[in-house]
Amino acid sequence: MAHGYAISEYPDVPAIEARIKHLTTTKVRTLTADQLAAYHAWYERHTPASREAAARAEAVIPGGVQHNLALNDPWPLSIVRAQGAYLWDADGNRYIDFLQAGGPTVLGSNYEPVRDKVVALLADCGPVTGMLHDSETELARLIHDFMPAVQKFRMLGSGTEAVMAAIRAARAYTGKAHIIKVGGAYHGWSDQVVFGLRIPGTGSLEAAGIPAGAYATTSETPPGDLEALRARLSANAADGGTAAVIVEPVGPESGSHPAAADFNAAVRELCDKFAALLVFDEVVTGFRLGMGGAQGYFGIAPDLTVFGKCVAGGYPGAGGVGGSEEVMATFAGGLTAAGKRALIGGTLSASPLSCTAGYHALVEMDRTGAPVKAGQAGDRLRTGLQELIDKHDLPYVTYNFGSIVHLHTSGVLHLNLADPGFFDQLGPRKDMLGHMSMAFAAEGVITLAGSRIYTSMADTDEVIDDALAAFARVFAQIPPA
């Protein structure tokens, strides 16, 4: 079994924070209206089939698109083919795929050995039967081998569902109600965690359609702020206690707000002190940072781990929760759970399709060392981006956790709600993300919201160098300060 992690050197978090502070307090450095118009003209000329597809979608899909990760200025690109490092749109344009569907495909898109297993499974028994299939056990066993803290594993339909399940198990097990998340973190869209999303401190700002009672026992603490976490745990202790602290181990939004290297160990200690469960949301980091996940990298045993994305190898039904025998017993009822059963389920959960895809993807990732290779691609990209940033004297900030590469150009996620200029800054800085995303795509590179990049094993040096040339074409146009 290949061990090894994608992070070759942990980012210098204080230095990054200082650069981010500079980015958010300096003038926005973006493309001019003329340059944006030239990019729009490129789309007009080169993507008419996408434009027509987008018009058809607009009529029947709210907002015209089901996923908004790639942003959609001037219209969403209609993708007809995905292979390895590349996507092709309906007009035949080829793009380097740094969206990677939001992160599940560390092997690269449409990886043949996994697809062959899925096709064989479909031929044998179709995608789902509702009965036990060996792939469920194989996947759970494999995850346990990679992450010993996951003694038992329950497959679900998505990361969102897995977070809901983890919270329910934590409450059933501890008998406490409060949950604490870190401000800015996204843990899916269930009622209780649509709180403090993306920009720390924003609380219920995005909670349209959610009654306040749903998140009455949810609180957020500022990223990296252990004293605030201690204070919150303490306050909760006087009010029945905290069931769980949930963290993204490299920091909120996949490390957009990077966590210091010793943060998780300190959170583990605080959880133990206050008898709260520690939940690692490894939806992004699980297997991407290495087969042992962030918990292996940091050497921390969480009580519960939430999975998504990679756990189904890029196929549907990507979610699951795992942890210690005792806590996981709440899903089964029975003696160890003392009769406290946390109800979860799902007609299509843990389907043979998801479990077969997940199992074989993990086997292949382990066999090929995909997480480490993808991490090396991330290192090469980040190094090249930093050179470009320096060359063009831009305030942009780049760093990476292996194959999770951040490129903050507008700093919108790092605005401070308490700053009187917050709402004036929010619009232009948010717009800039869309503009950069559009420019990068026109130059041949699809990113996640113009600011995050997932690399995969398919990203050879040549792919990365081509991508850097594309970024260079955009950066070179940014007018001087």
Residues with catalytic function: 186, 281, 309
> Residue count at the site for ligand PLP (CB under 6 A)?
15
Smallest gap from residue 143 Cβ to ligand PLP (A): 16
Instruction: Single out the residue of 152, 187, 232, 406 in contact with ligand PLP (rule: CB under 6 A).
Output: 187
The answer to whether the CB of 180 falls within 8 A of the CB of 232 is yes
The answer to whether the CB of 276 falls within 8 A of the CB of 360 is no
Smallest gap from residue 153 Cβ to ligand PLP (A): 16
Torsion sign across C-alpha atoms 329, 334, 335, 339: positive
Instruction: Single out the residue of 160, 221, 305, 456 in contact with ligand PLP (rule: CB under 6 A).
Output: 160
Span of 146-154, 207-215, 227-235, 278-286 interacting with ligand PLP by CB under 6 A: 278-286
Structure tokens at 199: 């920009």
Residue number with CB closer to ligand PLP (97 or 443): 97
According to the binding rule CB under 6 A, does residue 159 interact with ligand PLP?
yes
Residue number with CB closer to ligand PLP (389 or 433): 433
Smallest gap from residue 162 Cβ to ligand PLP (A): 7
**Alpha-carbon span 129 to 125, nearest angstrom:** 8
Smallest gap from residue 5 Cβ to ligand PLP (A): 18
Span of 17-25, 184-192, 378-386, 425-433 interacting with ligand PLP by CB under 6 A: 184-192
According to the binding rule CB under 6 A, does residue 95 interact with ligand PLP?
no
Q: In what order do the strands lie in the sheet with 86-89?
A: 79-83, 86-89, 94-97, 445-446
CA 284 → CA 45, 120, 244, 254, 452, distances in Å?
Answer: 36, 28, 19, 7, 12
Smallest gap from residue 408 Cβ to ligand PLP (A): 17
According to the binding rule CB under 6 A, does residue 79 interact with ligand PLP?
no
According to the binding rule CB under 6 A, does residue 264 interact with ligand PLP?
no
Q: Answer left, alpha or beta for residue 299, where phi above 0 means left and psi between -120 and 50 means alpha.
A: left
Contacts of 478 (CB under 8 A, 6+ apart): 29, 30, 31, 392, 394
Smallest gap from residue 283 Cβ to ligand PLP (A): 4
The alpha carbons of the chain give a radius of gyration, in whole angstroms, of 22
Q: DSSP labels for 136-173?
A: HHHHHHHHHHH-TT-SEEEEES-HHHHHHHHHHHHHHH
**Alpha-carbon span 289 to 432, nearest angstrom:** 29
| Residue 377, amino acid | A
Task: Give, to the nearest 10 degrees, the angle between helix 461-475 and helix 422-442.
Answer: 130
Residue number with CB closer to ligand PLP (10 or 189): 189
Q: Which of residues 281-300 bind ligand PLP (CB under 6 A)?
A: 281, 283-284
Smallest gap from residue 19 Cβ to ligand PLP (A): 24
Q: Which residue in 22, 24, 43, 16 sits closest to 440, CA to CA?
A: 43
According to the binding rule CB under 6 A, does residue 158 interact with ligand PLP?
yes
Instruction: Single out the residue of 91, 97, 248, 303 in contact with ligand PLP (rule: CB under 6 A).
Output: 248
According to the binding rule CB under 6 A, does residue 408 interact with ligand PLP?
no
Instruction: Single out the residue of 319, 322, 352, 369 in contact with ligand PLP (rule: CB under 6 A).
Output: 319
According to the binding rule CB under 6 A, does residue 255 interact with ligand PLP?
no
According to the binding rule CB under 6 A, does residue 318 interact with ligand PLP?
yes
Instruction: Single out the residue of 86, 186, 263, 471 in contact with ligand PLP (rule: CB under 6 A).
Output: 186
Q: Answer left, alpha or beta for residue 370, where phi above 0 means left and psi between -120 and 50 means alpha.
A: alpha
Q: DSSP labels for 264-329?
A: HHHHHHHHHHTT-EEEEE-TTTTTTS-TTHHHHHHT---SEEEEEGGGGTTSS--EEEEE-HHHHG
Residue number with CB closer to ligand PLP (157 or 375): 157
The site for ligand PLP (CB under 6 A) is made up of 102, 158-160, 163, 186-188, 248, 281, 283-284, 308, 318-319
